[in-house]
Amino acid sequence: EWIAAIRPKVFTVVEQEADHNKPGFLDRFTEALFYYSAVFDSLDAASGGAGDAAAEAYLEREICDIVCGEGADRRERHEPLRRWRDRLGGGRAGAGLAAVPLGANALRQARMLVGLFSGEGHCVEEAEGCLTLGWHGRPLFSASAWRAAEENNQSDSCNADGSRSSGSASEESNISCSS
């Protein structure tokens, strides 16, 4: 609720697309096993099999925290996009924010960059106006944009990528918006 109260023009969330906030050890362990297996496979493919010691050291601490940390001792609490939608959206438990479509231009740019700088197997997908970066179809990261709900109900509004939409998230436009 405090996020909506400060009325940001745009509030962005980039999160690991995993559910590491479960209370049970076995659930967190299983989720971490599948998620980080895909992450390490994607890093290995992107580096040509050379690996990255710094990334591995960082992820080692993160995995240890997710799997071994209990209660308040656990710092890493990644949650999937669907949970962020519930938390930030306008429903009873939500913060009163409305999703802002990232737009077709953002999707095209992300796909172009992934094609230029990563190995085969990486993908960028659009899901209800949000983007996910994945490895062989498994989403690894999600990116979403939000704003106060009443601002998002305008008939002619801007997507997060600056393109203008006229009430339909599927319409495409190259007209730039300013705020």
pLDDT in tens, 112-136: 999 988 868 999 999 889 999 999 9
Q: Which tens digits make up the pLDDT trace of 66-99?
A: 999 888 888 888 999 999 998 888 666 678 888 9
Helices (H) and strands (E) in the chain, counts: 6, 7
Cα 18 from chain centroid (whole Å): 10
Across-strand partners of 178? none
Task: Return the structure tokens found at 89.
Answer: 């959206």
Judged against a pLDDT cut of 90, whether residue 145 lies above it is answered with yes
Planar angle of CA 69, 75, 77, nearest 5 degrees: 95
Where does the pLDDT of residue 9 fall: very low under 50, low under 70, confident under 90, or very high at 90 and above? confident
Average model confidence (pLDDT) for the chain?
A: 81
pTM metric for this prediction: 0.77
CA distance 115 to 44: 16
Identify the residue with better confidence: 179 or 55: 55
Q: What share of the chain is helix, strand, coil (3-state, %, to 5)?
A: 40, 20, 40
What does 56-77 look like in DSSP terms, one character per residue? HHHHHHHHHHHHH--GGG----
Contact 153, 25 (CB under 8 A): no
